[in-house]
Amino acid sequence: MAAGTLNTHTAGSTRQSATTTETAATQAATSPATPTSTATTETATTVSGHNVSGTTPTDAAAGFVTRGLTRSFGPRRVLRGIDLEAAPGEFVALLGRSGSGKSTLLRALAGLDSEAGGELLVPERRAVVFQDPRLLPWKSVLDNVTLGQRGAAAAERGRAALGEVGLTGHERDWPKTLSGGEAQRAALARALVREPALLLLDEPFGALDALTRIRMHALVQELCGRHRPTVLLVTHDVDEAILLADRVLVLTDGHISLDVPVGLPSPRLRGDEAFTVLRSRLLRELGIDENAAGIHASSAAAPQAG
Amino acid sequence: MTGSDLTRTVRAPVTGPVIAAAQPRPGLVRLPTRRPDQAARARFRIPRGVERLAGVVLLFAGWQTASSAGWLSPRVLAGPSAVVTVGWDLIQDGTLWSALRASLWRVLWGLGLGVPIGVVLALASGLTRVGDDLVDGNIQMLRFVPIIGLQPLLILWLGLGETAKISLLVMGVAFPIYVNTSVAIRSLNPGYRELADVAGLGRAALIRHVVIPGALPSFLVGLRLATAVAWLLLVFAEQMNAHSGIGYLMIRAQTFFQSDVIVLCLVVYALLGLISDGLIRILDRRVLRWQPGR
């Protein structure tokens, strides 16, 4: 952790209380039924080792907490005691170099890794969007979206979710007939239909072409604005992190080496000075010197997201 | 030189079909294309199916000619007309039907028992460590024992009745089903299991929604193999001390030097094999609708 860096917080300290209250306020405004953040923390489940014990969730957003989270693969210590907290409804982006363990952290939060050490508090209702859409090819798009959902209303909610991602009319299609972007949108619908309190996005746009990615950014922004789950977005794309997140983390050598609120006004433009400054800073944290690598030229040529 | 050529090409007017020939250039080869002024090649071709059928017709015509001319003795090989005649006779007196029924019955028993056994073993070894350790090693070893070689042992254990014959078929069927299905279960995208975890699917739901449909294409390949094996083994089983079935009909015909009946039985076997393969192919197309290009 770079000690002298401005705005750098130790996870779990007095970090961004402003963001928390702001989010809570927005929630109260948009959905009056949503309990306050104090109430929601009680419904979080403990994921520790194999045991995922928990109570029934009633809330839409509960944030998450990790304490001393560790994970090793053989002699390689990938996560070395991560203390992290996210407020309900907060959009957190996690950056890191390839192999830095960002996906490992996400998998632990998803409950997919029973070998991780430390403590994890996550909401019961979690959903993951993987880098590949991971649709079961032998199920129709709608059946993929409602996979594991029970009850008569499941299909109806599935249709609604497909409508939200703009895939109405594709319900009965086979996944292999969808384009890459459509398949990833179906995966997003599958996550939405679960009404997750915690949405985990594991480089979900990584395999998409640049134009589709821009459309997906807008869609994710819109959907998260509407449903307000807590989001952890794992990505290697600095611009994407700044565009979408309330707060950006950088994972280096198994630690959160940078934890910075984005704090930019809503239509975030890549050309803005604050944007550029933050990008430079994040890239530096990731070990890339823009002046030396000539990054400026290439990112200026990249299309602008609206 | 080359430079001026380039300029000329670029300046060529784009109105109307430009047929100006590209000049050959050093380092470039010309690929065959259809020039716009050429009509699409519409050379007459005999349809593939007709051509294939013609081959079969030619073979039969030659065979018939050979036996009609007396070059082929009926002792060696009966001609097609003789086979058709004897076939009609055997249908008339009911011999063919009762033989067919007995054979079909055995194959259905063999498949009906062998397929579930293969599938259950494959699920056990593909989904559990214990199953893998206990089942897979043994089966991979037994796989190399020629099934027909088990016949004497089976007769020793089970006698000469139906049980020994059907057991032989069951074993012959279970192996290809097991091998194909268990490989498919093992090679299932591990991401799908993760997905099932995240979606909160239990073990039964995982098997039902993910494992079985995922292994189905490979299982159906196994089923086609198994059916072929079943018919093959049936010939052996029915030639050993059987009193009914197509194989029995053949052995009896051999005793009486009736080459026409033998040929008829071979034709019946071939037809049965074709029909069962066709049925599985239809099943294949129905069940695997989700695969592209089906």
Strand order in the sheet with A198-202: A126-129, A198-202, A230-235, A91-96, A247-252, A255-261
> Which one of A47, A138, A150 makes the best mutation probe of the B interface by having the most chain B beta carbons within 10 Å?
A138
Of the candidates A201, A192, A89, the residue with the CA atom closest to the CA atom of residue A149: A192
Of the candidates B185, B171, B163, the residue with the CA atom closest to the CA atom of residue B111: B171
Nearest-angstrom CA–CA distance, B177 and A189: 37
Q: Which residue has the tokens 């449903």?
A: A227
pLDDT of residue B195: 93
Cβ within 8 Å, pair A176-B290: yes
Given pLDDT bands bounded at 50, 70 and 90, which one contains residue A21?
very low
A155 domain residue, yes or no:
yes
- Distance of residue A147 Cα from the nearest chain B Cα, in angstroms: 7
Cβ within 8 Å, pair B210-A132: no
| Cβ neighbours of residue B60 closer than 8 Å, sequence gap 6 or more | B80
Q: Which residue has the tokens 């007309």?
A: B81
Nearest-angstrom CA–CA distance, B79 and B64: 5
* Contacts with B196 from chain A: Cβ below 8 Å: 147-148
Per-residue pLDDT tens digits for A239-275: 999 999 999 999 998 899 999 999 888 778 888 888 9
CB A129 within 8 A of CB A201: yes
Given pLDDT bands bounded at 50, 70 and 90, which one contains residue B40?
low
Question: Which structure tokens are listed for A105?
Answer: 């952290």
Q: Is B258 helix (H, G, I), strand (E, B) or coil?
A: coil
Q: Which long-range contacts (CB under 8 A, 24 or more apart) does B104-107 make?
A: B104/B272, B106/B162, B106/B165, B106/B166, B106/B169, B106/B234, B106/B237, B106/B238, B106/B245, B107/B169, B107/B227, B107/B230, B107/B231, B107/B234, B107/B276
Q: Is A268 helix (H, G, I), strand (E, B) or coil?
A: coil
Q: What is the DSSP letter of A171?
A: T
Cβ within 8 Å, pair B209-A112: no
Question: Which structure tokens are listed for B118?
Answer: 């293969």
Measure CB to CB from residue A134 to each of B191, B209, B290 and give the nearest one. B191
* Contacts with A126 from chain B: Cβ below 8 Å: 198
Q: Which residue of B has its CA nearest to A145?
A: B199
Mean confidence (pLDDT) of chain B: 86
Residue B72, amino acid: L
- Distance of residue B173 Cα from the nearest chain A Cα, in angstroms: 26
A30 domain residue, yes or no:
no
- Distance of residue B196 Cα from the nearest chain A Cα, in angstroms: 8
Cβ within 8 Å, pair A148-B289: no
Per-residue pLDDT tens digits for B106-131: 999 999 999 999 999 999 998 888 88
* Contacts with A137 from chain B: Cβ below 8 Å: 290-291
Residue with more model confidence, B95 or A40? B95
Q: Is A96 helix (H, G, I), strand (E, B) or coil?
A: strand
Return the CATH number of B83-287, one of 1.10.238.10, 3.40.50.2300, 3.40.50.2000, 1.10.3720.10: 1.10.3720.10
Cβ within 8 Å, pair A139-B199: no
The whole domain housing A155 covers: 135-194
Per-residue pLDDT tens digits for A32-79: 443 433 333 334 555 544 333 333 444 444 789 999 999 999 898 999
First-last CA distance in chain A? 34
Q: What is the DSSP letter of A252?
A: E
Question: Which structure tokens are listed for B87?
Answer: 């076939």
| pLDDT, average across residues B35-47 | 70
Structural domains of chain A, count: 1
| pLDDT, average across residues B237-265 | 88
Measure CB to CB from residue A110 to each of B189, B198, B288 and give the nearest one. B198
Start-end of H helices in chain A: 17-30, 37-42, 102-110, 141-145, 153-164, 180-192, 210-227, 238-244, 273-285, 290-293, 295-301
| ipTM, interface predicted TM-score of the complex | 0.71
pLDDT of residue A208: 87
A178 domain residue, yes or no:
yes
> Which one of A147, A174, A193, A198 makes the best mutation probe of the B interface by having the most chain B beta carbons within 10 Å?
A147
A226 domain residue, yes or no:
no
* Contacts with A174 from chain B: Cβ below 8 Å: 289-290, 292
pLDDT of residue A23: 41
A189 domain residue, yes or no:
yes
Nearest-angstrom CA–CA distance, A136 and A174: 9
Beta-bridged to residue A208, according to DSSP, are none
> Which one of B189, B219, B284, B290 makes the best mutation probe of the A interface by having the most chain A beta carbons within 10 Å?
B290
